[in-house]
A and B are shown apart, each in its own frame.
Chain A
Amino acid sequence: MKKDKKNSFNTPEGYFENFHERLMDKIGKEESQLESIIPKSDGFALPEGYFNSVTEKVLSKTTESEAKVIQLTSYRKFYYGAAAIAAIFLLVFGLNWKSEIPIDFEDLANTEIDAYFETTEIDMSTYELAELVPLDHLELNDMLENDIEAENILEYLDENVEDIEDLNLDYNDYE
């Protein structure tokens, strides 16, 4: 028996020498006990040769994206942009009164904003976006890839609207 000089507790002979081994044994036993309850394999399979073909698929997609960039959902990016700008304005004006060092829009590098939108999947519904960006901050042309000329709108209305009353125009606004 070894005695601790500072107190009267003692430990069995060789206790600390083989402590690590006993601990690892215990951990091993617990793990095998766990494996007897929870299976170590989860039963997923995959088509034969899948990993050989996936490299080719990925590489062909990356070379494709380099060759031509077609923005199928460009309006979406605009929504994100508009939401970001609105959020930044809210942040700047909302925090200005209590922060000692005013946050400037210039503090945000464009590349950082771009990188954020590139790497972050902002999963906002149209309703969430509508809440964030007030209607009076948006123009019709903000939603469209190509601007619509006033003439074209008038032409469209001329061809498609039978009764001018259907438009519910408030004439006072135009007088």
Chain B
Amino acid sequence: MIAEEALVHELKQKESQAKAFEVLVNTYKERLYWHIRRIVLDHDDADDVLQNTFIKVYKNIDGFKGESKLFSWMYRIATNESLTFLKQKSRKMGVSNEELKNRMVENLESDVYFEGDEIQLKLQKALATLPDKQKLVFTMKYFQEMKYQDISDVLETSVGALKTSYHLAVKKIETYLKEN
């Protein structure tokens, strides 16, 4: 585990910035990638959004006040970048957000970078029926095994509300999987 404060300090100094940024990318790239991938589903899209996320982090590091953890701040940028990416994609395609989600899941069937079986595909279909916030909470808790407090820092939502969202998401997914 790297000392976060020291890293932030180095990122803000011109002479140590490049090296510190490389450390930052290497430390967080995998976790951020999987977070983004679970939102945008497609690998190439996730790659684009991941790179944009790091570029935003790089450009805005001076504005990072340290009020939240660096990781939470980066996660928040990654979440916003992913959701904005999907919004722009649906606008470009001239379809609604829901329609886009359905198409994204359909595309998974022919995606070379999706190796899921029938159940996993069905799980993605179930996830596509959830509101954005519930889906985010579910994937962060269930797949990424994040603590509620950390999710709360990222999504700026109370722990109680997150627990409710997670519970509702689990129930909806269970029902979907049983009925379909």
Chains A and B belong together in one complex: yes
Are A38 and B114 within 8 A (Cβ)?
no
What 1/0 flags go to B89-124 for Cβ under 8 Å of A?
Answer: 001000000000000000000000111110111011
Q: Helix, strand, loop or mixed for chain B's interface?
A: helix
**Chain A 31-56 near chain B by CB (<8 Å), digits 1 or 0:** 00010011111111111001100110
Interface secondary structure of A, over-half rule: helix
Could you tell me if B177 and A38 are in contact, using CB atoms closer than 8 angstroms?
A: yes
Q: Contacting chain B: which of A4-12, A57-65, A83-91?
A: A57-65
Contact B115–A43 (Cβ < 8 Å): yes
* A51 in contact with B63 (CB, 8 Å): no
Q: Contact string, B17-50, partner A, CB cutoff 8 A, digits 1/0?
A: 0100110011001100110011001010001001
Do B113 and A44 have beta carbons less than 8 Å apart?
A: yes
A118-B63 in contact given A39-B123, A43-B120, A51-B30 (Cβ < 8 Å) = yes
- Contact A46–B43 (Cβ < 8 Å): yes
Q: Which of B1-9, B51-59, B128-136, B152-160 contacts A (4 or more CB under 8 A)?
A: B51-59
- Report B174 CB to chain A, min CB distance, Å: 6
Q: Is the beta-carbon distance between A62 and B21 smaller than 8 angstroms?
A: yes
User: Using Cβ atoms and an 8 Å threshold, which residues of chain B touch A43?
Assistant: 114-117, 120-121
Q: Is the CB of B56 within 8 A of A119?
A: yes
Q: Is the CB of A45 within 8 A of B115?
A: yes
A131 at the interface (CB under 8 A from B): no
Name the B residues within 8 Å of A118 (CB-CB).
Answer: 59-60, 63
Given A42-B123, A44-B38, 6 additional A-B pairs, CB 8 A: A38-B123, A38-B142, A50-B47, A59-B21, A59-B25, A118-B63
| Contact across chains for A54 and B47 when beta carbons are under 8 A apart | yes
CB distance from B112 to the nearest CB of A (A): 8
Partner of B29, one of A54, A61, A119: A54
Known: A51-B29, A115-B63. A41 touches B113 (CB 8 A): no
Given A59-B22, A115-B63, A118-B60, are A42 and B143 also a contact pair (CB < 8 Å)?
yes
Instruction: Judge whether A42 and B38 touch: CB under 8 Å.
Output: yes
Looking at A47, A58, A125, the one whose CB has the most chain B CB atoms below 10 A away is A58
Chain A residues positioned under 8 Å from B87 (CB to CB): 123
- Chain A residues near B16 (CB, 8 Å)? none
Among B38, B56, B63, B114: residue with most chain A CB under 10 A: B63
A38 touches B174 (CB 8 A): yes
